Amino acid sequence: MLVRIKPEDAAIGMFIHAFEGSWFDHPFWTKHFRIETAEQLARIRSSSIDAVVIDQSRSEVTPVDEPAAEPAPIRFLRAERSPRPIRSEPVVFGNPSGPPRDEPRSRPGYDAERRRAGQIIDKSRIAVVDMFETARLGRAIEARRMAPLARSIGKSIERDARALINLVRLKEKDEYTYLHSVAVCALMMNFGRHLGLDEDVVQDLGVAGLLHDVGKVAIADEILNKNGGLSAGELHSVRGHPDAGRQLLESSPGVPDAALEVSLRHHEKVDGSGYPGGLKGDELSLFARMGAICDVYDAVTSDRPYKNAWAPCDALTEMQSWTGHFDEPLLAKFADSLGIYAIGTLVRLSTGELGIVMGNAGEACETVVVRVFFDCETLLECEPFDRPIAPSAENPRITGRDSPTFWRFPDWDAMRFRVMAAQLT
């Protein structure tokens, strides 16, 4: 028997048959599963979906006594809630029974994958340089040569996405043009998988990433690498590269449609102020919107002739503030796909603690610093302290963003400000 309930009335033990509402809002990429952890429950309760359809026959918890079979109208039913913290007493700092600050445990595969990723990047660089040279000479691009490259990049990010994506971000300024293509390939494939797209589509998106900027061969190197503002004529030349790329790819055999679309549309913006078409909103395909996000994210997190790289958390924080540039819900999904969070985001750790993202640390900015302030077991605040979390860390790690509403923090903005401004002892 199927019944519909509000997301906030979901409970551990219920078997999810379906989510209702926009597929984009539901917090999982599979619809059929039993809610088994507090984290899953928190994600469902804090999601924007309209309703959850529960299969009573497969649930350990019965949400209703009179289940309604489809297509009955939605009945919002109240299930047993797990206790949630409600704080009215003064904040308790220095809680002596707070969580132990364990030594971090490493994820064994990360370092090995980083070495393999280095080899893949080296090979990719050679292939992409060759592809750009072919285009520069006016010859047809052999798109079929890009497919195995995308496959091998796709396998690396399947084993551990952060290894290759973190490594390719560290490109030298003079190799940006080529390795930017490799980076966008990896970001697009990782993003596509996170969105639950078919693997065939994911592979095409990888090829799209490799080919998206091939139109830059029409731009003079001195303009591409200029350290300063561009004249009107130079700007016109730069803005012509999506059209030039599309023309090059259309005259080459075997280029996937996704690559044609991304090469032409990756500089469009959702408010219509982008180029070359000035398309906006729904006029922009999913691939175009994904391309715009991946392209800018890699650009701003890479060293360029005219600016130094931003750390991932800073980049995401900035990108989220550019109203009208990106598809905002899609940008949030992109951040989730990489496990990066804007500064100030509430996150849950595998240690059962809540913390606030403070930024990145380390030479390559790969480490995320989380300011821990709350213990989910005792439901008490603890004295804030910073936990640096390396991408190679298995535990503690960030398990996902969390909802201040779920935890019933009475004034989240004030609480966040207080924690982030706290002087650490």
Closest distance of CB 213 from Fe ion, Å? 4
With the CA atoms of 389, 390, 393 and 399 taken in that order, what torsion angle do they form, in degrees rounded to the nearest 10?
Answer: 50
Q: Is residue 298 at the binding interface for Fe ion, with CB under 5 A as the rule?
A: no
Closest distance of CB 43 from Fe ion, Å? 34
Of 68-76, 167-175, 205-213, 219-227, the segment contacting Fe ion by CB under 5 A is: 205-213
Measured from each CB, the residue nearest to Fe ion is: 213
- Closest Cα to residue 110, out of 159, 151, 155? 159
Closest distance of CB 121 from Fe ion, Å? 20
Nearer to Fe ion by Cβ, of 150 and 262: the residue is 262
- Closest Cα to residue 1, out of 12, 17, 13? 17
Nearer to Fe ion by Cβ, of 92 and 220: the residue is 220
Nearer to Fe ion by Cβ, of 204 and 213: the residue is 213
Specify burial of residue 77 (Cβ count, 10 A radius: 0-12, 13-18, 19+). middle
Please say whether the beta carbons of 344 and 352 come within 8 A: no
Nearer to Fe ion by Cβ, of 43 and 180: the residue is 180
Find residue 386's DSSP bridge partners.
371
Of 27-35, 206-214, 314-322, 332-340, the segment contacting Fe ion by CB under 5 A is: 206-214
Number of residues that bind Fe ion (CB under 5 A): 1
Alpha carbon distances (Å) from 159 to 145, 261, 400: 23, 28, 20
Of 174-182, 209-217, 314-322, 417-425, the segment contacting Fe ion by CB under 5 A is: 209-217
Q: Contacting Fe ion (CB under 5 A), which of 160, 213, 261, 381?
A: 213
Closest distance of CB 241 from Fe ion, Å? 6
Find residue 372's DSSP bridge partners.
355, 385
Nearer to Fe ion by Cβ, of 113 and 213: the residue is 213
Please say whether the beta carbons of 343 and 359 come within 8 A: yes
Please say whether the beta carbons of 224 and 216 come within 8 A: yes
Closest distance of CB 27 from Fe ion, Å? 32
* 3 state DSSP class of 386: strand
Please say whether the beta carbons of 15 and 59 come within 8 A: yes
**DSSP H helical ranges for 103-142:** 108-136
Nearer to Fe ion by Cβ, of 304 and 418: the residue is 304
Of 122-130, 160-168, 211-219, 330-338, the segment contacting Fe ion by CB under 5 A is: 211-219
Closest distance of CB 212 from Fe ion, Å? 6
- Closest Cα to residue 258, out of 145, 151, 143, 125? 143
Of 53-61, 213-221, 316-324, 383-391, the segment contacting Fe ion by CB under 5 A is: 213-221
**DSSP H helical ranges for 137-198:** 146-168, 176-194
Residues that bind Fe ion in the complex, under the rule CB under 5 A: 213
